[in-house]
Amino acid sequence: MNRSPVPRFAALGVELVAAAAVVTAALPLYTVTVLYWLDLTASLLRRTCQTLFAAPRETVSPTGADLAPESGNSTLSPYEQGLFRFLSPKVGTVSVSGRLPPVALHNVRPFVTLVCLWVAFCLPVAALGVSSTVFPTPVYDEFWSSPTPVLLAGGALAVAGKHWALVRHHARTAWPTAGNVAPQWRLGVWTAYWLPLWFLTSLHATGPEVGTLLSVVTALVVVGRAVREVRPLVGSAERDAPAPPAETARSRIAAQTPPPVGNHHASVRPNRRAVRLAGAIDSLFPFGNAASSVRRIEGQYAVALVLLVGVPLVTREVWEVTSLLLLGGVTAAVLGAFVGLVALVGAVHFELAFGAVEYQLADDALVAYDRRLDAAQWRVPLDAIRDATVERGLFDSPTTTDAAIVALDRTDDPAEAEPYRFYRRTLAYVNEPNTVAERLTAARTDPDRERR
């Protein structure tokens, strides 16, 4: 994706502050490095939020009637199974606020992945690196001498203006897709940004002899960044033109939505309670219904193990609790909260994926229509249904409910595309599943269907 042009002063504001730091700061390269870290932080936060509000994908939908271009496989990686996996094939958007773009449900999964990556890895690594190598040094105290606080305050304002201008630009033209706006390698750069700070701290600790050299390096870095910021401004008038109607989010959704089949004469909806129970079970025991994800299993149980060992240790060392009964109670409460959170996430996942779906039986096709998204999710001709069978089990028929899964034996090629075979070959958690399966079989073999 080409870097979007923004107003000149917004694009160059950070560089103007950096240029001022070259002339006035006691540690110019150190100050500019921190300033660019602020810019990178704002960029990553913006990109993370834009991932949630990104435009619907431009690639072939894995729920459509056509095969994806890569050897007949889904355009999405099979490794994208796991947590929130059934949101990836969703077609349609939900409106959160009139002032915000609609949210395409298939963007929720990459957004949640980014948030988890921030919380579980990037923030702890960066905080540990800075606190252990930068904060305890005399150079850090020297860095905060005047006028550095003023420069950083001005830099923060310039950074905020720059990225606000980028958001406004996207609002005026067209929001990028999640793949185009994702942070990608920038997260790794941000996480390891304490390394150059540690290197500069070591250099400055050797004495003032390196000051002149570092000032020259700082000037070159600022000039290079300024040139990089100016380049997208050339020809910006052409790129600022509004996107054509065919590129709007609504048209992308329409292109992915299966064609209508006319009026339906029967419909069935999932049992919402069974859907939520199934989601909780699936989240706690990620083994069934296309859930097999080694990374997810390892991650969940690793967190549980860390809590089991870490909570009593922290409770004892920090709060000096020595009662075994109290330590056990605190540990059990924290583990219970973690288990409850995992179950809640699974219930929300399945509710969004299946809770509002209505399976509509028409004369020539079966359509899965999401009432919440107001969009058809997938469509299968009745002639392509070889058989319909009821599946029961821990993951297919949640306990305390009579609902179960009705699995379709489909003969059409799109049904074979992974990793969404389960999603497109299943009537999820419907009441009276035997009756539903019999009705589908009868509709497929009805001799009067061709004359209707």
pLDDT value, residue 448: 60
Residue range 166-218, pLDDT digits in tens: 888 888 877 888 888 889 899 999 999 999 999 998 888 777 777 778 888 98
Residue range 367-406, pLDDT digits in tens: 999 999 999 988 889 988 889 999 998 888 998 899 999 9
The stretches of 97-235 forming alpha helices (DSSP H) are 108-117, 123-133, 138-143, 148-172, 178-181, 185-191, 194-205, 211-230
230 token code pair: 């100016």
pLDDT value, residue 66: 41
The stretches of 292-411 forming alpha helices (DSSP H) are 294-319, 324-350
Residue type, 284: L
Which of residues 247 and 394 earns the better pLDDT score?
Answer: 394
- Percent of the chain residues topping a pLDDT of 70: 79
pLDDT value, residue 68: 41
d(CA 259, CA 246): 18
pLDDT value, residue 205: 78
pLDDT value, residue 449: 54
Q: At CA 111, angle to CA 108 and CA 114, rounded to 5?
A: 150
Residue range 315-328, pLDDT digits in tens: 988 888 888 999 99
d(CA 6, CA 29): 26
Q: Is the pLDDT of residue 5 over 60?
A: no
Cis ω before 147 (30° cut-off from 0) = yes
When the pLDDT of each residue in the chain is averaged and rounded to a whole number, the result is: 82
Residue range 88-98, pLDDT digits in tens: 888 889 988 88
72 confidence band (pLDDT: 50, 70, 90):
very low
The residue behind tokens 């392509």 is 384
Cis ω before 242 (30° cut-off from 0) = no
- Cα-Cα-Cα-Cα dihedral sign, residues 415, 419, 424, 430: positive
* Residue in 34, 37, 36, 30 with CA at minimum distance from that of residue 210: 30
d(CA 268, CA 336): 36
* Residue in 422, 429, 418, 288 with CA at minimum distance from that of residue 357: 429
9 confidence band (pLDDT: 50, 70, 90):
low
d(CA 97, CA 330): 39
Which of residues 237 and 413 earns the better pLDDT score?
Answer: 413
pLDDT value, residue 75: 42
* Residue in 347, 387, 369 with CA at minimum distance from that of residue 266: 369
124 confidence band (pLDDT: 50, 70, 90):
very high
Residue 289's region, left for phi above 0, alpha for psi from -120 to 50, else beta, is left
Q: Name the 3-class secondary structure at 233.
A: helix
Q: Is the pLDDT of residue 43 over 50?
A: yes
Residue range 265-280, pLDDT digits in tens: 789 999 999 999 999 9
Contact 378, 370 (CB under 8 A): no
Q: Is the pLDDT of residue 87 over 50?
A: yes
pLDDT value, residue 292: 52
